[in-house]
Amino acid sequence: MAQLFSSASNTVAPGVLAGFVLMLLFLAGGVWMVFQSPYATAVGIPLEQPVPFSHEHHVSGLGIDCRYCHTGVETASFAGVPSTQTCMTCHSQVWTEAPLLAPVRESLITNEPIRWNRANRVPDYVYFNHSVHVAKGVSCVSCHGRVDQMPLVSKAHTLYMRWCLECHTHPAGILRDRSEVFDMASKNPTREVGEQRLEAHRVRTVNLLDCSACHR
């Protein structure tokens, strides 16, 4: 009976199989890299806005507190974006004719709100409440990064589920004193202090890892 494969096949076949496996690993790694890249996550990419608002100027330069513009952050699930009236509190007195602020003045005249573009957004199937996080001592910086150093706001973290779970699994590492929540320069606590705040703020890690905490 004739031999179907030559003896060289014993050498070639393992090499082909190994190459196929390596190719699959390479493709999987490429997909993973794309999934983690700014192209997919938008992390670090300045977001275009109808008015180029600088957090660096308003927060670091002028010392405006986060809560002045994001009025719902302590009481509601959505922190809120500033209304035109909020902007005009100052800009009816300063930079009143600046071309850059023409959309703000137009918004006031027409009573049409400015359509700000949100840098941070979670899917509709995810429940997130700003007021709960603030009350437990989670700083703005933990999720939004050093917004006070951003001339144009950009996303600081992926907001992927595993990123959220890192904090939900080890919350002691990020909990600030409530007086430091809106302090952009505040630092993460030591392990000992963090553990004390878990108890003081009544944070129960077992509840944080329940699916219903975020998916309702």
d(CA 103, CA 109): 10
- What predicted TM-score, i.e. pTM, was given to this entire model? 0.81
Q: How would you classify residue 112: left for phi > 0, otherwise alpha for psi between -120 and 50, otherwise beta?
A: beta
At 6 the pLDDT is: 66
Neighbours of 157 (CB within 10 A): 16
User: Mean pLDDT in runs of 10 for the chain (216 residues)?
Assistant: 60 74 76 73 92 96 96 96 95 95 97 94 94 96 96 95 94 95 94 94 92 93
Spell out the long-range contacts of 34-38 with Cβ–Cβ below 8 A and sequence spacing 24 or more.
36/158
At 40 the pLDDT is: 81
d(CA 46, CA 38): 11
Provide the residue ranges of all domains of the chain, joining segments of one domain with +.
Answer: 55-81+116-213
At 20 the pLDDT is: 74
CA distances from 204 to 114, 180, 200, 201 (A): 40, 21, 11, 9
| Axis-axis angle for helices 84-91, 102-110 (nearest 10) | 120
CB within 8 Å of 100: residues ≥ 6 apart: 51, 52
CA atoms within 13 A of residue 84's CA, in its CB half-sphere: 16
Look up residue 199 and give its amino acid.
Answer: E
At 22 the pLDDT is: 79
End-to-end, the C-alpha distance of the chain in Å comes to 68
